[in-house]
Structure 1
Amino acid sequence: MRKLVAGLIAGASMLVAAPAQAAPVRPADPGFAGQWGVTQTHVDDAWSSVRGSSRVIVAVVDTGVSPLPDLAGRLLPGRDFANHDNDASDDNGHGTMAATVIAASGNNRTGIAGVCWFCRILPVKVLNAKGGGSYTDIALGLRWAADQGASVISLSLGGSDDSPLLRDAVAYAETKGALVVAAAGNRGVATAHYPAAIPSVLAVGGVTSSGSRYDWSNHGSWVDVTAPGCNPAQGPTGLIGQYCGTSSATPFVAGAAGLLASTDPAPTATQIRTALVTTRALPSGRIDVPAALRALPVDGDVTRPAVAFGAVGALVRGRVTITAAAADQHGVARVQLYAGGRLIGTDTTAPYSFAWQSAPGTATVPLELRAYDRRGNLAVVRRSVRADNVAPVVRLAKSGRTLIARVADVSGVARLELVVNGRVTVRRAGPVSRFTVPAKARSVQVRAYDRAGNRRVANGKLGG
């Protein structure tokens, strides 16, 4: 029996033009400024270690997907089960919006930044131009997507009736290693919605920027996780606009699952599902992508963490704060700082920071950062700094009311100051300077500063 299903979950908005704004974080995509869901779920933190992989295929079982620059090179040949042909282009817009939420290229100054920048998209058209379709076509689409090697299958569609046909198709996809992610529906009720309510399917509800449930989002114990329910997206023309509903939250979770699937070693669908569900924020159920990454098994992980020095000058003195950035697909266990081969400190929590006492010596000191991930993989970066803790040498000569200052320092002289009666009257650059001292001067000093910030004070009182 063919059961009709409302493909476009009620509440999913059409595209509305949005102004391009400068992104407050790294991705330079014009729509990124409005992607509050990325920061809410800490996807931007996860990007520091994993941004997807071309080996991961995410199937969009929807109204089709139209080619866009933001999907260039990653949109696979699809299938149209609604019209029974091989043209899976989008004649509605809904599926393209879902695909861009999942995998629009990031930091390319185009469109938005999808959750999984390098994942490939498999378009599977099961809904017609009006967003309607049948359980039969959806089941066929699920099976075909699984046969094409999809790691994740995203379904922003559903109906109120359970169906053995859908259950069998979901079970088939799972035997092929796919994780099926589906929308919980937008009626604001606790009534089960299918295929999301099938126990092995990852059912997704929608939450606001504050983490509370949208009134329109279906809810209940059968809903496994929640995700941002309104996200900027691109339609078939590339226009950026708001895309709201559990139809939008679902591809967001599918993109997050794609990130997890991109890690080393490649996790199973069950491991991805478990990681997303067990690390969700309570009581909202909102996904936390870095926490889910850390929850994945690490046995077999051979990927070293990324580590880098924070801003530190080439010339330092005294007590110096050294900062570091470190990231790993499964989490950083610890970061250590060595100076001159000596362990200075160990930090296990970001932001990583170390206090190093460079005094009293003056020398070039090799610094080394060592970052270990949870599996024990080690990454090392090195740099050298010049520690200067010795003040400049100042020699003064007098000639009448003229004071001649000659200054020497191994790191270079930054400036000289003439201090008359306790007040700085002249500042000059360079190691040699001639100062005229006022006749009524009661006290005269020359202060010399080197490039490291060390200071030497020399007294130079001149007689009348």
Structure 2
Amino acid sequence: MRKLLAGLIVGAALVPGAPARAAAADQWGLAQTRVDQAWSATRGSARTIVAVLDSGVSPLPDLAGRLLPGHDFVNHDDDPADDNGHGTMAATVIAAAGRNGKGVDGVCWSCRILPVKVLDAKGAGGYTGIALGIRYAADRGAAVISLSLGGSDDSPLLRDAVAYAESRGALVVAAAGNRGVSTPHYPAAIPSVVAVGGVTPAGTRYEWSNFGAWVDVTAPGCNQAQGPSGVVGPYCGTSSATPFVAGVAGLLASTDPAPSAAQVRTALLASRGRVDALTALRALPYDGDVTRPSVSLGPVRPLVRGRVTITAAASDQHGVSRVQLYAGGRLVATDTSAPYALGWQSAPRTGPVVLELRAYDRRGNLTVVRRTVRADNTAPALRLTRTGRTLTARAADPSGIARLELVVNGRVTARHAAATGRFTVPRARKVVVRAVDRAGNAKVADGKLVR
């Protein structure tokens, strides 16, 4: 029986007393791989099960409601509790609840975790237990099987188990190993397994990460994770990169229509190097997609004039093809890439206008959002009367008057925030009164000409 080691980098274990919440800057991998952008399209699904074959998984608040009953192939019982910490850390990288103000942000927030204990308290195990664990996970509906472990020897036992998992529709993801060599590491080097190497924040290979043509994809090699006690700290090695990729695979498996394991694998490798969640989502086939894109308008003033820029947020699991803006039933702008900003010349309209935002995904599914605004491109009416040196201004506008201003020799010398105002006219070369409506349109009258 060949022994397997979990492959945790020395010094990467959680440090007692570490903070209970990971800082965003410490989770650099989420932005590096565009997982944070992919979240706008999918955060996973409860239908997607990711099996963690490791030292077990301990219950944590960040996994609450999503940790399934599992099995212990070390002690031969149904209690896959983690007596090492390695498996729990892997599970939180995959699926810790996101943006909840505690713990860490996992990759696939809604995915469920199937704990399968195949490593003992020292992080060691055998090929027989691993093979049994792979079959167990496949039989229980795992879409993704994550193995942060490996050995130097090839094995028909492992190959048969991986083939069985494939036949059951599961994708196997495994660590490339941490010796910094090109020698194949198993089960990662089995051709149908997704072999994962580790990269730095700069995107370069960590010196400890194994490499070679047999490594399929790389991922952040140091991630924040939680141990069985809930303490947060750095978790490094291809053991950490592997659950990261497994989490991305979980996001892909959660899309509609549900992709096959082969399609998820192809999409993962579409970035040709470091995993890219957004690229992977867009690489999935979308025939049969009936899910409409998500779209929302940015801030829109109820009263507009002149040229207006309408901003929007739009996302879809398979990508947004275009966002269009209609004004009063007429197409006025199209944008094909985020961030979406669409221009509309409201002039010379004055009156209510229905704005309609249409977002199309790559399959042609459509979402429509409407907002009614009032366009005002007409200057207010302004009438002046003068008695001696007192000038009375009266303005009117359907949108309301924002202010009246006395402008002497080009400089505002008095102001009234009302539709009617009285000004004392100085002896000056040029005196005008300006009325500004609530939309910003202005009307100017010469105060020197009024008698």
* TM-score, normalised via structure 1 length: 0.94
Partner of 1:95: 87
Partners in 1 of 2:87 and 2:19 — Cα distance?
A: 23
Q: Deviations over 1:348-385 (max 9, x none)?
A: 22222222111011011001111111111111111111
Partner of 1:400: 388
Report whether the alignment pairs 1:6 with 2:26: no
Partners in 1 of 2:70 and 2:320 — Cα distance?
A: 39
Report whether the alignment pairs 1:211 with 2:203: yes
Contact 1:90/1:236 (CA < 8 Å) preserved in 2?
yes
Report whether the alignment pairs 1:331 with 2:319: yes
Report whether the alignment pairs 1:383 with 2:378: no
SS in 2 for 1:150: coil
Q: Report the Cα offset of residue 427 of structure 1.
A: 2.6
Partners in 2 of 1:155 and 1:67 — Cα distance?
A: 19
Contact 1:12/1:246 (CA < 8 Å) preserved in 2?
no
| 5+ long unaligned stretches in structure 2 | none
Partner of 1:26: none
Partner of 1:238: 230
Partners in 2 of 1:125 and 1:71 — Cα distance?
A: 17
Contact 2:55/2:85 (CA < 8 Å) preserved in 1?
yes
Contact 1:31/1:111 (CA < 8 Å) preserved in 2?
no
SS in 1 for 2:282: helix
Q: Deviations over 1:281-330 (max 9, x none)?
A: xxxx1011111111111111110111121222111111111222211101
Partner of 1:56: 48
Q: Report the Cα offset of residue 462 of structure 1.
A: 7.8
Contact 2:433/2:447 (CA < 8 Å) preserved in 1?
yes
Partner of 2:128: 136
Partner of 2:289: 301
What is the percentage of aligned positions where both structures have the same residue?
73
Partner of 2:343: 355
Partners in 2 of 1:163 and 1:60 — Cα distance?
A: 20
- What is the identity, as a one-letter code, of the residue corresponding to 1:443? K
Contact 2:7/2:177 (CA < 8 Å) preserved in 1?
no
Partners in 2 of 1:432 and 1:91 — Cα distance?
A: 80
Contact 2:22/2:224 (CA < 8 Å) preserved in 1?
no
Partner of 1:255: 247
Report whether the alignment pairs 1:419 with 2:418: no
Contact 1:394/1:456 (CA < 8 Å) preserved in 2?
yes
Contact 1:9/1:185 (CA < 8 Å) preserved in 2?
no
Partners in 2 of 1:427 and 1:30 — Cα distance?
A: 53
CA RMSD of aligned residues (A): 1.6
* TM-score, normalised via structure 2 length: 0.96
- What is the identity, as a one-letter code, of the residue corresponding to 1:410? P
Partners in 1 of 2:11 and 2:268 — Cα distance?
A: 24
Report whether the alignment pairs 1:220 with 2:212: yes
Partner of 2:26: 34
- What is the identity, as a one-letter code, of the residue corresponding to 2:353? V
Contact 1:444/1:462 (CA < 8 Å) preserved in 2?
no
- What is the identity, as a one-letter code, of the residue corresponding to 1:452? A
Task: Report 1:79-158 matches (<5 A).
Answer: 79-158=71-150
Contact 2:3/2:124 (CA < 8 Å) preserved in 1?
yes
- What is the identity, as a one-letter code, of the residue corresponding to 1:342? R
Contact 1:396/1:460 (CA < 8 Å) preserved in 2?
yes
Q: Report the Cα offset of residue 181 of structure 1.
A: 0.2
Partner of 2:308: 320
Bigger Cα displacement from structure 2, 420-429 vs 300-309 = 420-429
When the two structures are aligned, how many residues end up with a matched partner?
A: 450
Partner of 2:221: 229
Question: 426, 436, 443: which is aligned to 1:449?
Answer: 436
- What is the identity, as a one-letter code, of the residue corresponding to 1:116? C
- What is the identity, as a one-letter code, of the residue corresponding to 2:42? V
Partners in 1 of 2:231 and 2:404 — Cα distance?
A: 60
User: Are the structure 2 counterparts of residues 422 and 414 from structure 1 closer, same or farther at C-alpha, using a change threshold of 3 Å?
Assistant: same
Contact 1:401/1:462 (CA < 8 Å) preserved in 2?
no
- What is the identity, as a one-letter code, of the residue corresponding to 1:451? R
Partners in 2 of 1:272 and 1:10 — Cα distance?
A: 28
Q: Deviations over 1:72-120 (max 9, x none)?
A: 0000011111111111111111111111110011122221111111000
- What is the identity, as a one-letter code, of the residue corresponding to 2:149? L
Partners in 2 of 1:101 and 1:451 — Cα distance?
A: 52
SS in 2 for 1:44: helix
Q: Deviations over 1:385-429 (max 9, x none)?
A: 111001111111212222211111111111222111221112331
SS in 2 for 1:99: helix
Partner of 2:164: 172
SS in 1 for 2:136: helix
Q: Deviations over 1:5-48 (max 9, x none)?
A: 1123334711135557xxxxxxxx75434211111111111111
Q: Report the Cα offset of residue 184 of structure 1.
A: 0.5
SS in 2 for 1:143: helix
SS in 2 for 1:35: helix
Contact 1:31/1:113 (CA < 8 Å) preserved in 2?
no
Contact 2:19/2:231 (CA < 8 Å) preserved in 1?
no
Partners in 2 of 1:455 and 1:232 — Cα distance?
A: 57
Question: 182, 187, 201: which is aligned to 1:190?
Answer: 182
User: Are the structure 2 counterparts of residues 12 and 84 from structure 1 closer, same or farther at C-alpha, using a change threshold of 3 Å?
Assistant: farther
User: Are the structure 2 counterparts of residues 250 and 411 from structure 1 closer, same or farther at C-alpha, using a change threshold of 3 Å?
Assistant: same
SS in 2 for 1:64: coil
Bigger Cα displacement from structure 2, 180-189 vs 319-328 = 319-328
- What is the identity, as a one-letter code, of the residue corresponding to 1:13? A
Partners in 2 of 1:91 and 1:397 — Cα distance?
A: 90
Q: Report the Cα offset of residue 212 of structure 1.
A: 1.0
Question: 402, 405, 409: which is aligned to 2:397?
Answer: 409
SS in 2 for 1:58: strand
Partner of 1:200: 192
Q: Report the Cα offset of residue 268 of structure 1.
A: 0.5
- What is the identity, as a one-letter code, of the residue corresponding to 2:169? G
Report whether the alignment pairs 1:373 with 2:373: no
Partners in 2 of 1:384 and 1:393 — Cα distance?
A: 25
| 5+ long unaligned stretches in structure 1 | 21-28
